A and B are shown apart, each in its own frame.
Chain A
Amino acid sequence: MITLENISKTYGKGPQAVHALKPTDLHVAQGEIYGVIGLSGAGKSTLIRCVNLLERPTTGRIFVDGQELTSLGRQELNQARHRIGMIFQHFNLLASRTVFDNVALPLELMGVAKREIRERVQPLLDLTGLSDKHAKYPAELSGGQKQRVAIARALASRPKVLLCDEATSALDPQTTQSILELLKDINRKLGLTILLITHEMEVVKSICHKVGLISGGKLVEEAEVGDFFTSPSTRLGREFLNAFLELDPPQALIDRMEARPGPHTHPVVRLAFTGDAVSTPLISRLARECNVDVSILEAKVESIQERTLGLMIAELIGPQEKTQQALAYLKSHDLQVEVLGHVQRNA
């Protein structure tokens, strides 16, 4: 539905040039919710603004619904934009228009007749839960309500694609959830393809099917959301995941931890269980078969869409050859093992 081919964007020229986006390919399938995540300044906004050519890419081609946007003239591009909805972090509603008139705006721009506008706006207000707010002005609404208006407005022209630029970043967690539910609902009911950018893993976890990780203007990792949350393949991906899961060893332990194993140390490991491993009594077997003691420091279970993810931080206590054996045993099973460091015995 959305295809970016070799898209790059450079701001400015010469030594001051900023390569906001390095040559990037991206594909979003019909009906998919694709999330692009990255740190501030990674190039997320640049990427999404290139899709509807709010920003002209320096190189590359963009296809939306089979049409190459980068080859269109001004008028044709405006026509094509009617089929691409967009919502923004700061809502961008017209303060001079009521909720109803804001939602009607794209239809006015398309030259839709007044009567038809009335018929088309009302169902959108129902869908977004704004029926009783139609005569209010944006200044009288909460942030969540404003974003609902923006969503209704973006849907008015019956687009096939919805672009969301940090659509929930200005909202509190609860309101964020309700907006995400709405987007999910729209995706299901209308079969709308959604490309969203965010810096919050929560957003990706809640509604995305696929995720792309962007860093320094490059798409460094791309995965199904279930896979990304269980086994990110890049260092940055792991950092995002760990920050999201907030599963770090206690500070007191970190202070004692050494990077290399010594003659009298034992390893501290972070384990991530997925799939069958979640339901296997692995830890008790480990203790039995390898003859080590396992001290569990922290553990939690997350459900990522249909998948379950178990997480644990543990010390493996025993003589070095035993703990080495234990590590090998863990690695031979279907789970992620990361040695965080080593601590002195009986410290």
Chain B
Amino acid sequence: MSSAMLELILMATLDTLYMVGVSGLVAAALGVPLGVLLYVTRPRQILAMPTLNTALGMITNIGRSIPFIILMVAIIPFTRFIVGSSIGTNAAIVPLTLAAIPFVARLVEGALNEVPPGLVEAAQSMGATPYQIITKVLLPEARGGIITGLTITAVTLVSYSAMAGAVGGGGLGDLGIRYGYNRFNPVVMLITVAILVVMVQGFQSLGDALVRKADHK
């Protein structure tokens, strides 16, 4: 294989990591608070606000039910507005992030739901404020579950980013389609798939290791 080809593969790998990394980080930064909000505003929860909760829940569900490929196309004007272009890795990050936020939020909400209600009650009996309950009880106790959720998100983003690549997003998906499929180069195709597998494997192992460290159960 030519060194030019190797360089292409390397660049595409870095592009994928970049897309997954940025969209993952932004989605975590927005999705975790949204997940917390979804949980604490539930009826009978520490900041019960049923109307807000229903509204947030609906928005989250809508976000989650739109197929990624449609979302990507549908928000092209918005993407162009944010990054000034609708193709390339930066442009792919916008729909990736948007798709991942509700995904993260629901997983975080689920992780918080696993915290025994007795712990919140104990904190309340100690005079904890809702903010203290979130930062000192809910988030630390759900840490393992939240990391698991973020790992799932990262893995999902790897496959979504490959999809984004197919419509001009760059990265491994793009490479695989252009060289592997269009020019019928099975070696490149296999290599890109192999790298994706290794990447997913890597995220999963990293996530598992972090969960093990976070959990003392």
Identify which of B119, B126, B129 contacts A157 (C-beta below 8 A). B126
- Distance A77 CA – B129 CA, assembled complex (angstroms): 10
- Distance A103 CA – B126 CA, assembled complex (angstroms): 11
Q: A52-B125, A84-B125, A94-B141 are in contact. Are A109 and B118 (CB under 8 A)?
A: no
Which B residues lie within 8 Å of A233 (CB)?
A: none
Shortest Cβ distance from residue A328 to the other chain B in the assembled complex, whole angstroms: 55
Which A residues lie within 8 Å of B122 (CB)?
A: 86, 88, 92
Which A residues lie within 8 Å of B116 (CB)?
A: 90, 92
Q: A105-B136, A139-B217 are in contact. Are A110 and B127 (CB under 8 A)?
A: yes
- Which of B174-217 touch A at CB < 8 Å? 214-217
Count of CB-CB pairs between chains A and B under 8 Å: 66
Which A residues lie within 8 Å of B129 (CB)?
A: 78
Which A residues lie within 8 Å of B124 (CB)?
A: 54, 81
- Beta-carbon contact of B214 and A96 below 8 Å: yes
- Beta-carbon contact of A96 and B141 below 8 Å: yes
Identify which of A81, A97, A137, A138 contacts B125 (C-beta below 8 A). A81
Which B residues lie within 8 Å of A80 (CB)?
A: 127
- Distance A54 CA – B123 CA, assembled complex (angstroms): 11
Which B residues lie within 8 Å of A82 (CB)?
A: 126-127
- Beta-carbon contact of B217 and A92 below 8 Å: no
* A137-171 Cβ-contact flags toward B at 8 Å (1 or 0): 11100000000000000000100000100000000
Which A residues lie within 8 Å of B216 (CB)?
A: 95-96, 137-139
- Which of B112-147 touch A at CB < 8 Å? 116, 118-119, 121-129, 132, 136-137, 140-141, 143
- Distance A139 CA – B121 CA, assembled complex (angstroms): 20
Whether A305 is near chain B, meaning CB under 8 Å from some CB there, is no
- Beta-carbon contact of B121 and A92 below 8 Å: yes
Shortest Cβ distance from residue A95 to the other chain B in the assembled complex, whole angstroms: 5
- Distance A86 CA – B116 CA, assembled complex (angstroms): 17
Identify which of B121, B132, B140 contacts A109 (C-beta below 8 A). B132
Whether A79 is near chain B, meaning CB under 8 Å from some CB there, is yes
Shortest Cβ distance from A98 into B: residue: B216
Shortest Cβ distance from residue B106 to the other chain A in the assembled complex, whole angstroms: 22
Which A residues lie within 8 Å of B128 (CB)?
A: 78, 109
- Distance A93 CA – B116 CA, assembled complex (angstroms): 10
- Per DSSP, chain A at the interface is mixed
- Beta-carbon contact of B125 and A86 below 8 Å: yes
Whether A108 is near chain B, meaning CB under 8 Å from some CB there, is yes
Whether A31 is near chain B, meaning CB under 8 Å from some CB there, is no
Question: Interface residue tally of chain A, by bracket?
Answer: 20 to 34
Which B residues lie within 8 Å of A85 (CB)?
A: 125
- Distance A79 CA – B143 CA, assembled complex (angstroms): 28
Q: A92-B116, A92-B121, A157-B126 are in contact. Are A108 and B217 (CB under 8 A)?
A: no
- Beta-carbon contact of A109 and B141 below 8 Å: no
Which A residues lie within 8 Å of B119 (CB)?
A: 92-94
- Beta-carbon contact of B126 and A90 below 8 Å: no
Whether A106 is near chain B, meaning CB under 8 Å from some CB there, is yes
Shortest Cβ distance from B119 into A: residue: A92
Shortest Cβ distance from residue B172 to the other chain A in the assembled complex, whole angstroms: 37
Which A residues lie within 8 Å of B137 (CB)?
A: 94
- Distance A81 CA – B126 CA, assembled complex (angstroms): 6
- Beta-carbon contact of B121 and A54 below 8 Å: yes
Q: A88-B118, A109-B132, A139-B216 are in contact. Are A94 and B140 (CB under 8 A)?
A: yes
Shortest Cβ distance from residue A141 to the other chain B in the assembled complex, whole angstroms: 11
Which B residues lie within 8 Å of A84 (CB)?
A: 125
- Distance A206 CA – B134 CA, assembled complex (angstroms): 39
Shortest Cβ distance from B124 into A: residue: A54
Shortest Cβ distance from A52 into B: residue: B125
Shortest Cβ distance from B144 into A: residue: A96
Shortest Cβ distance from residue B143 to the other chain A in the assembled complex, whole angstroms: 6
- Distance A110 CA – B121 CA, assembled complex (angstroms): 17
Which B residues lie within 8 Å of A137 (CB)?
A: 216
Shortest Cβ distance from residue B126 to the other chain A in the assembled complex, whole angstroms: 4
Which B residues lie within 8 Å of A77 (CB)?
A: 127
Which 8 pairs, one residue from A and one from B, show the smallest C-beta to C-beta distance?
A: A81-B127, A78-B127, A92-B122, A137-B216, A86-B125, A92-B118, A96-B140, A106-B126
A-B contact pairs, 6 of them (CB 8 A): A82-B127, A86-B122, A88-B122, A95-B217, A105-B136, A106-B127
